Structure 1
């Protein structure tokens, strides 16, 4: 039994934490519209103070299903996530007790899905440290529509009124750093660790060692899933390497893309598998010269990825011979149905495009470079436009562009306004009006992967 003094300290910490970071807490608007001093582009900063902000990773949606709110990670609410209204700038805390890993914004319902430690009620996110004993996580969702309404009206209820807890991920699976929501919103996918993955591989499987100077990439690991109706956890697929960046197709149920994570060049970066474990294959078969990274599902039938071209011809080091412009590089689009790939664009020099995305309507692609410049590409004409710059290479992270579901704008994270040149803010970059108004000569053929579903669109 714990001493009374210890119990009182825990109770006091819990009360203080609950009072300071509660679901539905509101923050004042910081919304500010800025004109890019180089390109003249309109930049809508939704946060403008140094609050430890960062975007959800580009493998996942950024906006709620109604298109009105974007959700981001921040220190404003003691390690909890916050939603900001794109038009008003109003901010609302949307998790309580913290979260671990990916935030999954549902695209059919107004819900946010995430993992949370089971001891969240007694330990605030800011109290967790590397090296703490492993703790299982729950899969949780929050009813955003009701939360936003009650927060605005000042009629907030306890967190349990908005939360649904679906089950707990066993420690043998872990899964806490990865989470993806199926398009039908009835299953989540996450990482499976060695303890669960190893018995599923054939006995003669060659287990991959670490690859590259960062000493990452060794297996086995895999992908697992939870049935949200029952809480049942089961494997999808085991592989002999380290799995990372698990994402689901927001338009096609049961389709999963993941990567072989090495922290850099991988022998075979991108993979696809079905939720029943069938169809495992490389998404884009690579050779030793290809440095593929930052893949993201961007439409029902498409994945955008960067084939890096940032190294000198002839280089051969711990990463191998990859990423020179001896071979084709740039923003690549892969068709999931035909397996065809084409290069949408590439900077003529320098690092090349690094983090990439594309609009779901098939019209645009977007990428950043090592200097935190943002490039927009017209996929019908292959024209490239420097959309915004000045986001400071000294920033503590890259700008990570991600298109909105309606293809009208791009979410980035930017240090443009911060005094220390490192802290990030959440920023929306609209596609320029003159590009949105473009029509095309029928003689300009769309890319092969534009698809029958897009015929008749401009």
Structure 2
């Protein structure tokens, strides 16, 4: 073979190798990076499940983080651009769990080792993880990304084969549950019903949503300085066994943060997404389209954000108190401590709201969560501190700090299913003060040993 052909073949081989490295293969394994770091302020033991600057980002706090066996944490990463990873909390093993990309939310099942997500047409290359909010694509009403698939991955089989070194092709683990018609404009804002029978997703297609609105419905324009929030949009479902797609409901504003109740089939919570304060942020509806209503009817001075279903009957949310009293700008006169603010919990059944805590100074709570057993609540602030609240006593402690205000994103805390630990993302170890890693901190042992004579209402 001539030297020219040798050089050309070598160049082609190198290009193929780089392409393979760029996309990787499902089941590929990566060296463990796990390390324990003691928080220099609080003394809390921090389990960094990843510790290298690979562009890690946790699943949003509205969704499950752990697999149903409680062993693996699934996360977004740039280790392989556009693919998802899982890390074993005990061994630190890292495994690639997608091969052909995904869009938006990663949805872990409650009672099986299945992972679900939306996959856009393969003509669209996977995008790198930036860590910036929102966690789902910021697609406005009327935009369409073509026909999308909802895909299931059998993580149980994948982890066994990966450990044994017997991983087959992606089709051995991935199953296309169905295809979403392109006119619906599915973009990855998706949630899984607790029965694992249905997935619910945002309909960005303006024409379809318009057809399902009641005649004469006033469409909402963009709200606030980020020029987001205009409608109409809607929600639809897919039967994960048959692939049947049904429209659920249309609203005259932009839907975001679609999530489900992990204990109640067919209960959906979502928001009016404006990129900041909304006229009416939180909403709930049943999967059959009935029961559409505001979750927490807010006043014009309330800045409500980052709602998350935390127990069978409750949703946590932040009533922001991050702006000086007297502020009145493009967002309006809102988000100040002239009115009640803090970590609020709304009961889906009684509709009662209670504020369970607030930071004394600073931004106040920003992203919030609660333990499934109802004992604890937690939240972060602008400084990337993580606070823990005993819901029975009202006691609040600083659990961990030092996660750098320069980080690429907020820490977004989420409780484990057994209510004993919290996963978040942190830039504590990053030399560039921005790149984030996946971290787990336990609820203090002394708190776990507490007993109470009464139950919370």
1:111 aligns with 2:119: no
Paired with 1:224 and 1:304, the residues of 2 have a C-alpha distance of 24
In structure 1, the partner of 2:69 is: 66
Work out the CA distance in 1 between the residues paired with 2:246 and 2:13. Answer: 36
Match of 1:42 among 45, 69, 85: 45
1:297, distance to aligned residue in structure 2 (A): 0.5
Question: Which residue of the other structure, out of 178, 188, 196, is the alignment partner of 1:167?
Answer: 178
> Which residue does the alignment assign to 2:126?
125
**1:117 CA displacement:** 2.3
1:337 is displaced (CA, Å) by 1.0
| Distance apart, 1:18 and its partner CA | 4.7
Among 411, 415, 433, the residue aligned to 1:403:
415
**Native 8 Å contact 1:112 1:144 kept in 2:** yes
Alpha-carbon distance in 1 for matches of 2:456, 2:352: 10
Which of the residues 332, 335, 344 maps onto 1:332? 344
Q: CA deviation at 1:139?
A: 0.5
* Distance in structure 1 (CA, Å) of the matches to 2:427 and 2:252: 39
Counterparts in 2 of 1:254 and 1:14: CA distance versus 1, 3 Å: farther
Q: Is the 8 A contact 2:56 2:75 kept in 1?
A: yes
C-alpha distance in 1 between matches for 2:13 and 2:215: 50
Deviation at residue 17 of structure 1 after TM alignment: 3.8
1:326-380 Cα deviation digits (max 9, x unpaired): 1111000111111111011000121101100000000000000110000000000
**How far apart are the structure 2 equivalents of 1:124 and 1:203?**
39
State the alpha-carbon separation in 1 of the partners of residues 337 and 144 from structure 2: 46
Q: Match for 1:269 among 281, 290, 302?
A: 281
SS in 2 for 1:160: helix
Whole-Å Cα distance in 2 between the matches of residues 111 and 200 of structure 1?
Answer: 32
C-alpha contact (below 8 Å) 1:97/1:124 kept by paired residues: no
User: What runs of 5+ residues in structure 1 fail to find an aligned partner?
Assistant: 1-8, 449-458
Q: How does 1:411-450 map to 2 (within 5 A)?
A: 411-440=423-452, 442=453, 445-448=454-457
User: CA shift at 1:134, angstroms?
Assistant: 3.3
* CA shift for structure 1 position 398: 0.3
3-state DSSP of counterpart to 2:182: coil
Q: Distance in 2 between matches of 1:351 and 1:301?
A: 28
Residue 168 of structure 1, CA deviation: 1.2
Query: 2:31: which partner in 1?
Result: 28
Q: Is the 8 A contact 2:81 2:128 kept in 1?
A: no
Aligned equivalent of 2:164: 153
Kept after mapping to 2: 8 A contact 1:333/1:343: yes
**How far apart are the structure 2 equivalents of 1:231 and 1:119?**
19
Distance, in Å, in 2 between the alignment partners of 1:108 and 1:12 is 43
Structure 1 contact 42–430 (Cα < 8 Å) conserved: yes
Scaled by the length of structure 2, what TM-score is found? 0.92
- Which range moves more in the overlay, 18-27 or 365-374? 18-27
User: 5 Å matches for 1:102-251?
Assistant: 102-119=105-122, 124-126=125-127, 134-193=145-204, 194-251=206-263
- Could you tell me which residue of structure 2 aligns to residue 309 of structure 1? 321
Task: Find the counterpart in structure 2 of residue 451 from structure 1.
Answer: none
Q: How many residues align?
A: 435
Q: Is the 8 A contact 2:57 2:76 kept in 1?
A: yes
- Secondary structure at the aligned position of 2:184 is classed as coil
Name the counterpart of 1:4.
none
TM-score (norm 1): 0.91
Distance 2:126 2:252 in 1: 33
Aligned to 2:382, which of 365, 370, 375? 370
In the alignment, the residues of structure 2 paired with residue 63 and residue 303 of structure 1 have an alpha-carbon distance, to the nearest angstrom, of 20
SS at match of 1:304: strand
Residues 10 and 137 of structure 1: CA distance in aligned 2, closer, same or farther (over 3 Å): farther
Rounded to whole Å, the distance in 1 between the matches of 2:203 and 2:424 is: 30
When the two chains are superposed, the root-mean-square deviation of aligned CA atoms in Å is 2.2
1:172 counterpart SS class: helix
The CA deviation at 1:116 is: 1.1
CA distance in structure 1 between the aligned counterparts of 2:248 and 2:120, rounded to whole angstroms:
23
What is the deviation of 1:232?
1.4
Deviations, residues 148-204 of structure 1 (Å, cap 9, x unaligned): 000000011111011110111122212223010001001101111212100111221
Equivalent-residue separation in structure 1 for 2:167 and 2:402 (angstroms): 41
Q: For the structure 1 residues 127 and 42, does the alpha-carbon distance in structure 2 shift closer, same or farther, using more than 3 Å as the test?
A: closer
Query: Counterpart in 2 of 1:452?
Result: none
Is the partner of 2:343 in helix, strand or coil? strand
Which position in structure 1 is the counterpart of 2:8? Answer: none
> Alignment partner of 2:163: what SS?
helix
